[in-house]
Amino acid sequence: MEQTNTAISVNSLEKSYKNLKVLKKISFTIQKGSIFALLGANGAGKTTTIKILTTLLKPDKGSAAVCGYDVLRQPDKVRSNISLTGQFAAVDVILTGRENLRMIGKLRHLPEVNKRCDELLERFALKEAADRRVATYSGGMCRRLDLAMSLLGNPPVIFLDEPTTGLDPQGRMAMWKIIKGLARSGVTVFLTTQYLEEADQLADQIAILSEGKIVAEGTAAELKKLLPHVHIELNFHDENDLQMAKDLLSEYNTSLNKENLTLSVATDGSIKQMADILNQLENAGIQVAEFAQKLPTLEDAYLTIIGENQKNEDVK
């Protein structure tokens, strides 16, 4: 088999459930050792994509390969090179953490199971809780154990379907650290998430899925650059100044927050335009309490891209 740097390749995949088209000719490529995030609203087709790539579901048309193996013609080869962790930890709460790991290791007929279990318990900060029943674990501990079980056998590709769902901020950050470590060790990570900050923090490459189609793809920085404007946020001492500022800057696209006494103004990002706005306010005797530049976030980019795609779909 020819060696390439491609871990996953998807070409014109289509999938329908009766009359509902879920995937409409989606294509993308994922490099080895990278973190790829697939974003989209519920029902956009994220889980369907994962099910096809993990051989749990057959596409209607198109092709896909994982580690060079075709998901339709070589499903056994694909399954031997991947691991899948779903939205909810698939652990046996009656068993201890160590027993869960040993059970999976023996089912996979892995050599030196006990040694490998000890390594994973150490790696995922579960050593002290290894011999406690999983029923006593926190949500974050269960997620870490589930991921550790997925890594038995050292799969080169791992699919994480919303891995931090239900975790508190501390648990989420701990999981982020683990996922980054997986990529550094050469594992390819395919991630779906509802948390835009998570994709921003983790992903080397992001694809946005909307209405069954990939509508944007790139790094987080590249997607943010798709927005043509930068916002400045102006904070005022009272509601009267806030309203006067909004009226004065009517030529700009603005949004007003009375609760925070803040006016957000869309600009082209140039110093000249921002200086002009401040000069207009000063000349009108409107005092600005605070001023800040707000660069586009991944969430801004995501919402804009999704919104524009939905508008285009409505026009058709």
Contact predicate 281/288, CB 8 Å:
yes
In a domain, 310, yes or no: no
Regarding whether 76 and 15 lie in a shared domain, the answer is yes
Residue 70 CB contacts under 8 Å (≥ 6 apart), including other chains: 63, 64, 78
Regarding whether 159 and 60 lie in a shared domain, the answer is yes
In a domain, 137, yes or no: no
Contact predicate 178/34, CB 8 Å:
no
In a domain, 10, yes or no: yes
pLDDT given at position 97: 94
Residue 35 CB contacts under 8 Å (≥ 6 apart), including other chains: 179, 180, 183, 189, 191, 202, 203, 204, 205
pLDDT in tens, the chain (316 residues): 445 799 999 999 999 998 899 999 999 999 999 999 999 988 889 999 999 999 999 999 999 999 999 999 999 999 999 998 876 667 889 999 999 999 988 888 888 999 999 999 998 889 999 999 999 999 889 988 988 988 888 899 999 988 888 788 888 888 899 899 999 999 999 999 888 999 999 999 999 999 899 999 999 999 988 876 678 899 999 999 999 999 999 898 888 888 889 998 888 778 888 899 999 999 999 999 998 888 778 888 888 888 777 666 655 5
The Cα–Cα gap between 98 and 32 comes to 30
- Residue 129 token pair: 């809780």
- Residue 12 token pair: 């014109």
- Other Cβ atoms closer than 10 A to 52: 23
What single letter denotes the amino acid at residue 102?
R
In a domain, 34, yes or no: yes
- Residue 162 token pair: 């919303």
CATH label of the domain that carries residue 267: 3.30.70.100
- Residue 292 token pair: 């800040």
Domains: count for the chain: 2
Which residue range forms the structural domain that includes residue 39? 6-81+155-224
In a domain, 145, yes or no: no
In a domain, 146, yes or no: no
Contact predicate 156/67, CB 8 Å:
yes
In a domain, 51, yes or no: yes
Contact predicate 43/54, CB 8 Å:
no
Regarding whether 272 and 216 lie in a shared domain, the answer is no
In a domain, 53, yes or no: yes
Regarding whether 260 and 197 lie in a shared domain, the answer is no
Name residue, tokens 């201890």: 96
Q: Specify the long-range contacts of residues 87-93, CB closer than 8 Å, at least 24 apart.
A: 87/161, 87/162, 87/165, 88/165, 89/139, 89/142, 89/143, 89/145, 89/146, 90/146, 90/149, 91/134, 91/142, 91/145, 91/146, 91/149, 92/134, 93/133, 93/134, 93/135
